[in-house]
Structure 1
Amino acid sequence: MSSSSINYAREEGIAHSELPAAIVFAGLYVLLLSVFAVLIFKRPAFAWRFLTVFSVVRATAFTLRSVLAGSATAGTNLNLFVAESVIYGVGFFGLLYSAYTLVLDRDDMVNSGKEKRQLPGPLALFSKVARTRILVRALLMGAVVLGIVAGVKQGDSDSSSQATGNSLRKVSIVIFLVVSCMLLFVTLLLAADEHRSGALYEVAPTLGRRYGVFMLFAIAALCIVREAFLVATLGNTQKQNQASLFYPLAATPELIAALLFLVPGLVPSKLEMDARRDQARGAQNGRGAYSMSTMAPQAYGTDSRFAPPV
């Protein structure tokens, strides 16, 4: 597609005044990328891989946004503008999926070897659905695919294709909001299960073990704030891209959520997860009960070792 004299970035609310903010966010995500990449090797865990991808996508999106904000001509390239919009939109997958998987992993650690709490009525079905990993993954992948297809159609010169693209983009954003609300629900279930099992980490020396569920609540709430803002401004992309709203209500919440993953002890390592499963099998075979509070927490970058069950 050829460029035109229309500055799409300016038309859709990306102003020159936000250039410093876009550069700062791009730089912060480059730093986060470096940290998460190191943690993949030093303290292997599923979350670090997807958070690394999330950081790469966000660094790319804010770099493109800084180009669109800082250049008087870059915004006339429709392909560049659509690319920034699509990359930023679908990139949320990495953060939300990491958070959801972390909550389910911690819930499995609490409930391993035990029956999960049975909720009354329709809540029981919703609980089962919300804890089904393959369904959550399918919903998020669907949102990503819809977002990409929407971007392709929005970049088309045909008005009907553009309208279809706008509709698909709205559906993608709504799916992300629904999954964010589901994340809050499963976090509530995790809190209830931790309370029931006594695994509240009250004697644990790390913040992530002692107050982990509260941090997970914060991550879920920040994801909802981000998505609620995007849903509320679906019909007004200028307002959605307005720097005074976009950065405090969309960009900053997800950045804070990503930073919360770095709280020591919040993300269990793969070694820790494997040890927990072994402990649960031992408890089921009559070799003793297990409490998560017996786990010896380690700092980042060290091998995890676990105390024997008591």
Structure 2
Amino acid sequence: MASQSVNYAKAFGFHSEVAAAIFAIIYVPFLGWFIRQSIVRPTYVHFILVLFCLIRLAAFVLRALLISVNSVGETLGALVADEILFSVGFFSLLYSSYTLVLDLEIMQNRPESSNPIIRLTKNRRLFRLTLLIAVILGVVSSTSASKTGTFSSSGKTERQASTILFLILTLLQAFQTLLLAQMEIAARGLEKQINESFGSKHAMSILLAGSVLLLVREVFSTATMTNISKQNEEHFWYPFMAVPEILLVILLSTPGLVPRRDDVQQRYPQVQSTQSFQA
């Protein structure tokens, strides 16, 4: 008797190719916008947002194919590739948000904190390394699942460890945003820019809203990390995972929000060595 083929994508909870296609289309103009910004206002934040939009575009196109084309949906490796793309993509979004907060803090011209804990939380290299570990754990767990069609006990542990690390780093990003908000409130009225752009004028509101969106995504991911089938139910996954991401991308595309790299380097010369792609 011939073995019955299994559409892994639908078994995993993917059902709406229309929703996946719509999100893929939505990311196209933002990809174009950040590519343009990377040319006219080259900054590390814009570069990694280009990467994020590329990864999300590819992930949603692949998701649409997994659902609509049986030969693709029946290929477990394609499903694993989609999962890996979503994990790697979040690295870019979270790190760009964290980097933007630190760059805007530099633009405040405030003295650096003497608190060693706070100084440690502002270590870009350490933040990026921890993010990389979280991504690697997620990739390893997804790869192990490709051999059996399900997560092993070790694969589940790696996936949960990855999720917890992402949550911790998201909380850290929110903490940095609150510190920046406190600094701006303390300095309010001391410096006023005559030709201040909309993005720089409303930077704190945008960043605080962005931090909330990141937290919504990660709290949901953490709350459902032991129940993958529930996490992948599309009436949960889209509003709590996909929608917060695209809303944050919309916020980060606000004109004038991201400071020019030259301006950041003039305020803090060390950034020339640390952000030139130690970042």
TM-score by length of 2: 0.88
Counterpart Cα distance in 1 of 2:90 and 2:117 = 24
Corresponding residue for residue 164 of structure 1: 154
SS of the counterpart of 1:80?
A: helix
Task: Sort the Cα spacing of 1:201 and 1:94 in 2 relative to 1 into closer, same or farther, 3 A.
Answer: farther
Task: Sort the Cα spacing of 1:146 and 1:23 in 2 relative to 1 into closer, same or farther, 3 A.
Answer: same
SS of the counterpart of 2:108?
A: helix
Alignment counterpart, residue 217 of structure 1, candidates 177, 201, 208: 208
Counterpart Cα distance in 1 of 2:149 and 2:231 = 24
SS of the counterpart of 1:172?
A: helix
Counterpart Cα distance in 1 of 2:156 and 2:88 = 14
Counterpart Cα distance in 1 of 2:268 and 2:123 = 19
Report how many aligned residue pairs link the two structures. 266
Instruction: Write the deviation string for residues 201-222 of structure 1: whole angstroms up to 9, x where unpaired.
Output: 5755422121101111111111
Does residue 140 of structure 2 align to residue 149 of structure 1? yes
Does residue 167 of structure 2 align to residue 177 of structure 1? yes
Task: State the Cα distance separating 1:30 from its structure 2 match.
Answer: 2.3
Give structure 1 stretches of 5+ with no counterpart.
119-123, 279-310
Report the AA paired with residue 81 of structure 1. L
Report the AA paired with residue 6 of structure 1. V
Counterpart Cα distance in 2 of 1:21 and 1:133 = 35
Preserved contact between residue 106 and residue 264 of structure 2 (Cα < 8 Å) = no
Corresponding residue for residue 236 of structure 1: 227
Counterpart Cα distance in 2 of 1:144 and 1:172 = 7
Counterpart Cα distance in 2 of 1:202 and 1:182 = 29
Alignment counterpart, residue 116 of structure 1, candidates 109, 112, 118: 112
Counterpart Cα distance in 2 of 1:77 and 1:138 = 32
Report the AA paired with residue 236 of structure 2. L
Task: State the Cα distance separating 1:104 from its structure 2 match.
Answer: 0.6
Corresponding residue for residue 91 of structure 1: 89
Task: State the Cα distance separating 1:151 from its structure 2 match.
Answer: 1.8
Task: State the Cα distance separating 1:126 from its structure 2 match.
Answer: 3.4
Report the AA paired with residue 93 of structure 2. L
Task: State the Cα distance separating 1:28 from its structure 2 match.
Answer: 1.6
Report the AA paired with residue 126 of structure 2. L
Deviates more, 1:178-187 or 1:189-198: 189-198
Report the AA paired with residue 42 of structure 1. V
Does residue 252 of structure 2 align to residue 261 of structure 1? yes
Which protein shows a greater Rg? Answer: 1
Which residues in structure 2 correspond to 1:1-310 (within 5 Å)?
A: 5-15=5-15, 18-111=16-109, 114-117=110-113, 124-157=115-148, 162-198=152-188, 205-277=196-268
TM-score by length of 1: 0.80
Counterpart Cα distance in 1 of 2:134 and 2:184 = 31
Corresponding residue for residue 302 of structure 1: none
Counterpart Cα distance in 1 of 2:121 and 2:194 = 30
CA-based RMSD of the aligned residues comes to 2.1
Task: Sort the Cα spacing of 1:140 and 1:176 in 2 relative to 1 into closer, same or farther, 3 A.
Answer: same
Preserved contact between residue 117 and residue 193 of structure 1 (Cα < 8 Å) = no
Task: Sort the Cα spacing of 1:12 and 1:201 in 2 relative to 1 into closer, same or farther, 3 A.
Answer: farther
Preserved contact between residue 201 and residue 210 of structure 1 (Cα < 8 Å) = no
Counterpart Cα distance in 1 of 2:185 and 2:4 = 60
Counterpart Cα distance in 2 of 1:201 and 1:156 = 59
Instruction: Write the deviation string for residues 247-275 of structure 1: whole angstroms up to 9, x where unpaired.
Output: 11100101110111111221001122234
Preserved contact between residue 155 and residue 162 of structure 1 (Cα < 8 Å) = no
SS of the counterpart of 2:143?
A: helix
Preserved contact between residue 199 and residue 254 of structure 2 (Cα < 8 Å) = yes
Task: State the Cα distance separating 1:34 from its structure 2 match.
Answer: 1.4
